[in-house]
Each structure stands twice: as structure tokens, then as C-alpha cells.
Structure 1
Amino acid sequence: MDELTSRDVREREKRRKDNAKTGLGCGVLLLFGLIWYSASGDGGDDGAASYPMVSSTSARGYVAPAQGAPAGGGSHERFITRTSGLTPWPFTVESGVLRCRPGQQVTFEAGSREYGVNGLAQARYPKPFPVWADDLALGNGLKVDISAVLNVGLALC
């Protein structure tokens, strides 16, 4: 019973070869997926070289448009304040820099932290909970509607 028949040996050899083909196929598929992901522009490059950094002094004054700015000469970022007309104002800070990063990632920078406003940006940046105001009318820790800020941010893309 302990001896393998030639048929058993052939079956084991066939299974080994089939498993090797399957492993090779999965490896090739994974390689193509990684190549496609990196070529799609979402491969982790946050585009920092494309966007100028805004210090607190430059945010109060003129901010040069980013290289490769959108058609019409616009910039991919905008300094916004509580008095910018965005109602309701969803933040606990008075002002910050709203940006559109590559892949329509909308971010808001307050102080030295940059937060993801939409889900695309929150995959890379922290959620804005530290600066996102509670809606006192709704209570229960619910937050102020952030859609006005999101719409302005998407317009920067």
C-alpha cells in the first residue's frame, strides 16, 4: 500500500505542472495589473511637484498658478475663508487652502495638515474630522454639510 503506482506518479506530476502553470498565470496577471495601475496615473504620485506649496504668508497674498494649470489659466488651488461665501462654512478654522490633486482628489490644508475632503482624497490624506465642524442643529456629532467646499474643489480640477 505504501508504494506508489506509476499511475499515481503520473497524476502527481500532472498536478504539479498544472499548479505551476496556474502560479505563473497569476504572476503574469499581477504584473500586468501593477503596470496598468502605475500607468493610469493613480500609482501613488501625489503630484507634489506639480503644485506649489503655500505658506501662511503666501496664502494671504498672491499664489502663483501651478504648472500645467487647467485650461483658462486657473490654478489647482484656492485660498478660502469663512467669508468666502461658502455656506454653510464647514470648518472650525477660519481659513485654509483648497486643492484639487491628480485624480480629482480634493484636499483642504489648515495649518500644516492637509485633509482629504472627498473619498478619493481620503484614500491618501486623513479625513478632516479635526477641523470639520459639528452641526449643532442636527446634534449627535453629525457634521456640517461639506458639499459646497467639495464642489468648489472639484471646479479647481
Structure 2
Amino acid sequence: MKHLPKHLQPRWRYLAVAVETWPDAELDRRAFQRELWYAAQNLLGDTGSADADVRLLRFSHADGSGHAIVRVRRGYTDEARAAIACIDAVDGHEVGLRVAGTSGTVRACEEKYIRGPAEPSDQRHVVFDNADRHAVARGTRVDVRTDGAFVGATDLDFR
């Protein structure tokens, strides 16, 4: 089978997506891709999601933060961004997604928007709500474990 001429080949855009969850959440690539497809189909409909052709190319997640690279057909980046914004949970774990930027190649997307490894996390014991509690700190963000759940805080909440 012959390749299509260059002017007939599909053009793609690549979205760099920052992923943030609670520290104990474990996400995998397959579940994230499924949620991405469902969000696109629910928002754009069957034909719109087929036209956008949203695909997950790269995915990395550990210790509550990570990144993804999503491929979308050129001209459908706004629709893909809207579909990504509709995702609030993956496999029952709450997730926060932010599109860091758009690029024309995977390499440029990685170099420009995905800067090396994720921030290191630090285990701490803090006093929160008048009790000694276990916490996970990433930069200035601190996730404090309360009765079976996490509460988001910052360093300023403990001074």
C-alpha cells in the first residue's frame, strides 16, 4: 500500500497536559485514555470526536503529579481543550488537568512545556486542625491526610 502524498496526510497538533491528583491516587495510561475518549464523545458527539481524533501519546504519573501529551487533528485544538477540561476523575480518583500549551511536533511539545521530572515530594508531620497529622509536600503545596482523605493546603497555613 502506497503512502499518501504529503499534502494529503493529516496534520496534527500536540497538547501538553499537566496532571495533578492526591498523593495516594494511582492512574494508568489506559484509564486516562478511556476518560479522554468519553469526554470527547460526550462533548462533541460521535462525528465530532471522530473528526478531532483525540489520542493519548505519552503519559506519566507518580506521587500525585504527572504529564500527558495528547494528539489532536489540526483545527480541533479548542474542542480538544474543552474535552480535557470536562475530565474531573479517572478511575474514581479526582484529577486536576491543565493544558500547558500546544505544539506542532511531539519533540517541541516535550521541550517547551514538559520540563524534566516532576517536583520531588517530601513526607512531613504537621499540626493541622489541632492534631498531629501526616502530610505530603510538593513545592509550596501540602496535602494533609485527615480521616481517610486529603486536604489541600500551603506552607502559609502552617506558620
Same fold (TM over 0.5): no
For the aligned pair, the TM-score class normalised by the smaller chain equals under 0.3
| Structure number with higher relative contact order (C-alpha < 8 Å, ≥ 6 residues apart) | 2
Mark the structure with the bigger radius of gyration: 1
More helix by share: 1
User: Normalization by structure 2: what TM-score?
Assistant: 0.23
More strand by share: 2
User: Normalization by structure 1: what TM-score?
Assistant: 0.23
